[in-house]
Amino acid sequence: MGARGGLPEFEWDEHNEDKLLEGHNVSALEAEQCFANPKTRRREGDALLLMGVTDDGRMLFLVYEQKPKGVVRVYSAREMTEKERRTYRRNVR
């Protein structure tokens, strides 16, 4: 997958794509969509965290790394918990 209109470039390989699909039923495309739609971001230690929504309205929590030249590698993506959904709704308007 590559950059789409204003989105960063994403680094995908069989390992991280399979992990998302098999572990959490999240596709690489859905993870990328979370960067294009309203989102919240924060840093926790070395990890970058993002809460966002897919084009179909799935509310996802992502852990990712920002590599040199702005390339994004997503390590984990899953459905938000109820608490995370409340936080997301409170912070994204």
**Domain annotation covers residue 6:** no
Question: Residue 63 domain-assigned?
Answer: yes
Residue 4 lies in a domain: no
Checking if the pLDDT of 82 tops 80, the result is yes
Domain assignment present for 75: yes
The CATH number covering residue 82 comes to: 3.10.450
What's the pLDDT at 54?
A: 97
The beta-strand segments (E) located in the chain are: 39-44, 47-53, 59-66, 72-79
Supply the DSSP symbol for 68. Answer: G
- Mean local confidence (pLDDT), 24-32: 97
In a domain, 5, yes or no: no
Split into its structural domains, the chain has a count of 1
Mean pLDDT within 68-87: 95
Containing domain of residue 55, as a range?
A: 14-91
User: Is 47 domain-assigned?
Assistant: yes
Residue 3 included in any domain: no
